[in-house]
């Protein structure tokens, strides 16, 4: 099946690995991601801080392009892009005058009706399908990940349909369980990591991340699993800083959900992390998959 695909800016840059892996994993489930032609930035949280109109208009352009492909569903892996697009779409539906005003300038008009899903929604749906059941799964033993969702999967600045439990989301746990990994039960899976405030209010953001880390460690988690490029970046690149500040000795690797699923699907390290320009350190492949890798 073909799905429209909006990667967003960070999946072309700091979260390049996520872009690569999501295509690979969904490809194995017979889903082909058709990247939107000439997509543009969704404005993330910054557009709404300055200009409310552009916060709707920027995602509206991408929704218009997605609708023009004729495909029925738009998949967005990045949580911030997903949140912005969901909110903008609902606002386009709720304010027809605003929609007309925006459409007047767009070459690909939007109706605001395409189905928008996060990559996680798609994964959770596909594990029930026959394609998933036909893939021979590798056993990932000795893994207790803490699934960290952050804010943008379940909490929105506008009333939109929410695809998971707001306080205790289960999508990643469900997907991991289907691949044979039992995630730990913990408290801080939806606490904010500070997001971009790590740039302009670092102390506050580090305190929040330390809370998340401390709870994950006390529950004996041995890694984080995330689906948001911002959370991944913060929890990994700031980990030494917040752990040193709060006397936490442990360090946990932070993986995208696709990394674990890819391994369970039997993909090799070279397939999941090709080339030199991709990151993530810490995953000990020989430990996980024995000699087969």
Q: Are 81 and 6 in contact (CB under 8 A)?
A: yes
Q: Does 16 bind other proteins (CB under 8 A)?
A: yes
Of 12, 185, 251, 282, which lies in the binding site for other proteins, with binding defined by CB under 8 A?
12
Q: Does 167 bind other proteins (CB under 8 A)?
A: yes
Cα–Cα distance for residue pair 118/169, rounded to 1 Å: 14
> Phi and psi (nearest 5°) for 274?
-80, 160
Q: Which stretch binds other proteins (CB under 8 A): 4-12, 123-131, 138-146, 258-266?
A: 4-12
x/- site string to other proteins, residues 77 to 116, per CB under 8 A?
Answer: --------------x---x--x--xx--xxx---------
Number of H helices, E strands in the chain: 15, 7
Q: Which of 196, 259, 205, 252 is nearest to 227 (CA)?
A: 259
Cα–Cα distance for residue pair 130/107, rounded to 1 Å: 39
Cα–Cα distance for residue pair 100/102, rounded to 1 Å: 5
The smaller minimum CB distance to other proteins, of residues 68 and 144, is found at 68
Of 68, 187, 196, 268, which lies in the binding site for other proteins, with binding defined by CB under 8 A?
196
Which residue in this structure is represented by tokens 């492909």?
69
Cα–Cα distance for residue pair 86/81, rounded to 1 Å: 8
Helix/strand/coil for 113: coil
Q: Which stretch binds other proteins (CB under 8 A): 21-29, 133-141, 179-187, 201-209?
A: 201-209
**Which tokens sit at 165?**
């439990």
x/- site string to other proteins, residues 38 to 77, per CB under 8 A?
Answer: xxxx-xxxxxxxxxxxxxxxx--x----------------
Partnered with residue 32 across adjacent β-strands are 2
Angle between helices 96-105 and 79-94 (to 10 degrees): 110
The smaller minimum CB distance to other proteins, of residues 48 and 262, is found at 48
Give min distance, CB of 1 to other proteins, in A: 27
Give min distance, CB of 55 to other proteins, in A: 8
Q: Which stretch binds other proteins (CB under 8 A): 13-21, 213-221, 253-261, 285-293?
A: 13-21
Give min distance, CB of 222 to other proteins, in A: 21
Sequential DSSP letters for 57-114? HHHHHHHHHHHHTT-SEEEE-SHHHHHHHHHHHHHHHH-HHHHHHHHHH-SS---S-S
Q: Does 276 bind other proteins (CB under 8 A)?
A: yes
Judged by CB under 8 A, how many residues of this single chain contact other proteins?
64
Q: In angstroms, how far is CA 262 from the centroid of its own chain?
A: 15
Give min distance, CB of 34 to other proteins, in A: 17
The smaller minimum CB distance to other proteins, of residues 196 and 268, is found at 196
| Kind and range of the H or E run holding 65 | helix 52-68
> Per CB under 8 A, which of residues 222..261 are in contact with other proteins?
233, 237
Q: Does 1 bind other proteins (CB under 8 A)?
A: no
Cα–Cα distance for residue pair 156/161, rounded to 1 Å: 9
Q: Which residues bind other proteins (CB under 8 A)?
A: 9-10, 12-14, 16, 38-41, 43-58, 61, 91, 95, 98, 101-102, 105-107, 151, 154-159, 166-167, 190-192, 194-197, 199-201, 204, 207-208, 233, 237, 276-279, 281
């Amino acid at each position: 099946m073909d799905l429209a695909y909006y990667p967003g800016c960070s999946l072309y840059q700091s979260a390049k690995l996520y872009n690569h892996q999501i295509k690979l994993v969904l490809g194995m489930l017979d889903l082909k991601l058709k990247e939107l032609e000439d997509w543009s930035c969704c404005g993330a949280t910054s557009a709404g801080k300055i200009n409310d109109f552009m916060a709707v208009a920027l995602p509206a352009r991408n929704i218009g392009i997605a609708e023009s492909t004729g495909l029925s569903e738009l998949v967005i892996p990045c949580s911030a892009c997903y949140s912005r697009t969901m909110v903008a779409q609902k606002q386009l539906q709720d304010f027809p005058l605003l929609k007309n005003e925006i459409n007047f300038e767009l070459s690909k008009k939007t109706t605001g009706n395409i189905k928008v899903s996060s990559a996680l929604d798609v994964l959770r749906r596909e594990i029930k399908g026959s394609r998933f059941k036909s893939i021979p799964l590798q056993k990932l033993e000795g893994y207790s990940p803490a699934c960290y969702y952050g804010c943008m999967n379940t909490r929105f600045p506008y009333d939109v349909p929410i695809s998971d439990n707001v306080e205790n989301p289960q999508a990643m746990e469900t997907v991991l369980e289907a691949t044979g990994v039992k995630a730990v039960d913990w408290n801080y899976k939806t606490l904010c990591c500070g997001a971009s405030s790590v740039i302009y209010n670092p102390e506050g953001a580090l305190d929040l991340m330390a809370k998340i880390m401390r709870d994950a460690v006390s529950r004996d988690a041995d890694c984080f699993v995330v689906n948001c490029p911002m959370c991944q970046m913060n929890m990994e690149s700031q980990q030494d800083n917040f752990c040193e500040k709060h006397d936490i000795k442990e360090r946990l690797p932070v993986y995208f959900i696709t990394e674990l699923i890819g391994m369970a699907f039997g993909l090799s390290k070279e397939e999941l992390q090709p080339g030199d320009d991709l990151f993530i350190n810490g995953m000990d492949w020989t430990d996980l998959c024995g000699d087969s890798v």
